[in-house]
Amino acid sequence: MITRSRSGDVAVVVLGLVLSGCLSLRGMREVPAERVNVKPPADQAAVVFLRTANVGTTTSLYEVRPPQDTFIGLLVNDTRLVYFTAPGRMRFMVVGLSANFLDAELEAGKTYQVVVAPGPDAQQHFRLEPVRPGVQPSKAVQNCLESCRWVENTDESQAWYRQHANSVQRKKAQYLPLWERRQDRPVLTASDGR
């Protein structure tokens, strides 16, 4: 007859929860909300990316500005991250099963919010939508602004990017020309910051 101690069962359950939590963040690390500062230094802008979409695919975010794209991080359901960058004109990219983009004009000292939202089709599997001041966000976005988990990069998420960099560049090359032909391209404007 095999017997198990109750503390051994509890340890297995706790270990399983810890491991599944780590895997569910795809290498990103959860950060306590009290440690997150969304106010940028005077010479930078901050962009808070939020993902409420309940779709299984991990999304990766990039700043597309020459000479080289910058990996921002990975988002899964109900997560958000803050990214500090130089002000000015730039483009952001979200990659899931496809790639989509958002042009931005950022002002130093301001904080912007961008939602990673599900798109209407495979060409726009995910899209980036600015949260505009004075415009009531959806209930899902409002809930995420209040309670989504904050995450930050780790060596593991950086390794994920290095492993997938070629695939990301192929998707960028495939979808950027289609996006640039669109007449209704979204833009994050300087006045969208707070």
CA angle 19, 35, 69 (to 5 degrees): 75
* Residues belonging to the chain: 194
- When comparing pLDDT for 42 and 11, which is higher? 42
With a CB cutoff of 8 Å and minimum separation 6, the contacts of 74 are: 25, 26, 27, 28, 58, 59, 60, 61, 151, 157, 160
pLDDT: which is higher, 81 or 9: 81
pLDDT digits (tens, 9 = 90+) for 23-71: 477 789 999 999 999 999 999 999 999 998 676 678 999 999 888 899 9
pLDDT band (50, 70, 90) for residue 21: very low
Structure confidence at residue 13 (pLDDT): 34
A 10 A CB-CB count for 61 gives 23
What's the predicted TM-score (pTM) here? 0.84
pLDDT in tens, 124-159: 678 899 999 988 888 888 989 889 999 999 999 999
pLDDT tens, residue by residue, 96-120: 889 999 999 999 999 999 999 887 7
In the predicted structure, residue 9 carries a pLDDT above the cut 70: no
Please report the pLDDT score of residue 125 as a whole number: 77
Taking the C-alpha atoms of 70, 106, 44 and 50 in order, what is their torsion angle to the nearest 10 degrees? -60
Please report the pLDDT score of residue 119 as a whole number: 77
Average pLDDT, integer, range 12-19:
34
